[in-house]
């Protein structure tokens, strides 16, 4: 599933269409996770003024005071094409034609992603945005904030990091890498962690996510950047997907937590 680094990489790749107009929209598949709003088809020669990210959501701000929201789900991706390179793919569910000769395609084999559209104020009031916690790269994510949020929780810290209402943007892959960097066991409960542990986790979150962004994200199954290139951070994993391998002479183990795979090194992470 694309996480914050992959979404941020996607947004950076979308810079060539900011300031240009959407001149045509095609909906090939009416329903992904939810139905795609038909009102999108009414857009005609409307400029994209800004593209931002909130958690794992990609938000297009348009000149008509509306926003388009993309969530990539488990396998979704956005690709920019020139007309000559545009190909027909059965998983290409949505297409934007831009007046600079580019075509933006939303591809999602599993159809767990979604697209939303509406007035700024309506979109900003959607529960999927208002329920988000602080962004994982925000200065608001710090030791005191995290300690306040988890000090009474009996939930393991790995699962807490995946809770988007506490921290927005971290998914399963980076949660394992963050906790290894912080040298904290994914099995530790929230109420077992002190302020200095929370400081380590918040610092490690930013360290790992920024490194992943610089490497263009992680390409394991479906993710590719806007131009089709692969991310490289998977080559720098310390523990994720490395069960049985050694790190600093110690063995990496895999366990299942809440139905998700967790990778860690018990000898290093306490």
Among the listed residues 3, 6, 8, 177, the single catalytic one is 3
Among the listed residues 5, 6, 8, 56, the single catalytic one is 56
Among the listed residues 2, 5, 156, 186, the single catalytic one is 2
| Annotated catalytic residue 242 | no
| Annotated catalytic residue 56 | yes
Q: How far is CA 221 from the centre of its chain?
A: 15
User: How much is the pLDDT for 185?
Assistant: 98
| Annotated catalytic residue 3 | yes
- Return the CATH class of domain 134-264: mainly alpha
- Pairing type for strands 77-82 and 66-71 reads unpaired
Please report, in tens digits, the pLDDT of each residue of the chain (270 residues total): 789 999 999 999 999 999 999 999 999 999 999 999 999 999 999 999 999 999 999 999 999 999 999 999 989 999 999 886 787 888 999 999 999 999 999 999 999 999 999 999 999 999 999 999 999 999 999 999 999 999 999 999 999 999 999 999 999 999 999 999 999 999 999 999 999 999 999 999 999 999 999 998 886 656 767 777 767 788 899 999 999 999 999 999 999 999 999 999 999 999
- Residue 166: phi and psi, rounded to 5, are -100, -55
User: How much is the pLDDT for 217?
Assistant: 86
| Annotated catalytic residue 260 | yes
User: How much is the pLDDT for 137?
Assistant: 97
User: How much is the pLDDT for 237?
Assistant: 96
Among the listed residues 26, 188, 245, 260, the single catalytic one is 260
Q: What is the DSSP letter of 252?
A: -
Average pLDDT, the chain: 94
- Pairing type for strands 167-168 and 134-135 reads parallel
Identify the CATH homologous superfamily for domain 4-130.
MutM-like, N-terminal (3.20.190.10)
Could you write out the DSSP letters of every residue in 168-192?
ES--HHHHHHHHHHHT--TT-BGGG
175, 181, 188, 205, 224 from 243: Cα distances, Å: 16, 17, 20, 22, 25
Q: Calculate the CA dihedral of residues 152, 156, 161, 163 and round it to 10 degrees.
A: -70
Domain boundaries, the chain: 4-130, 134-264
User: How much is the pLDDT for 186?
Assistant: 98
């Amino acid at each position: 599933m694309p996480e914050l680094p992959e979404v941020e990489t996607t947004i950076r790749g979308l810079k060539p269409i900011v300031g240009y107009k959407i001149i045509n929209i095609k909906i090939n598949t009416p329903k992904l996770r939810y139905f795609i709003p038909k009102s999108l088809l009414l857009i005609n020669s409307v400029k994209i003024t800004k593209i931002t990210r909130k958690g794992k959501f990609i938000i297009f701000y348009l000149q008509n005071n509306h926003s388009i929201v993309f969530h990539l789900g488990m396998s979704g991706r956005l690709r920019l094409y020139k007309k000559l390179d545009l190909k027909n793919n059965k998983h290409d569910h949505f297409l934007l034609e831009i007046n600079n000769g580019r075509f933006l395609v939303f591809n999602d084999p599993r159809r767990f992603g979604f697209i939303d559209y509406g007035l700024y104020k309506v979109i900003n009031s959607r529960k999927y945005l208002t329920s988000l916690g602080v962004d994982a790269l925000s200065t608001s994510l710090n030791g005191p904030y995290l300690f306040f949020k988890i000090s009474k929780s009996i939930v393991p810290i790995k699962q807490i990091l995946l809770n988007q209402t506490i921290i927005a943007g971290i998914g399963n892959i980076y949660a394992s890498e963050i906790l290894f960097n912080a040298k904290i066991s994914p099995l530790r409960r929230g109420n077992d962690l002190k302020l200095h542990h929370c400081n380590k986790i918040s610092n490690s979150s930013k360290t790992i996510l920024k490194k992943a962004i610089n490497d263009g994200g992680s390409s394991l199954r479906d993710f590719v950047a806007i131009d089709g290139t692969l991310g490289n951070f998977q080559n720098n994993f310390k523990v994720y997907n490395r069960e049985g391998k050694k790190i600093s002479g110690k063995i990496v183990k895999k366990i299942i937590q809440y139905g998700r795979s967790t990778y860690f090194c018990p000898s290093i992470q306490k």
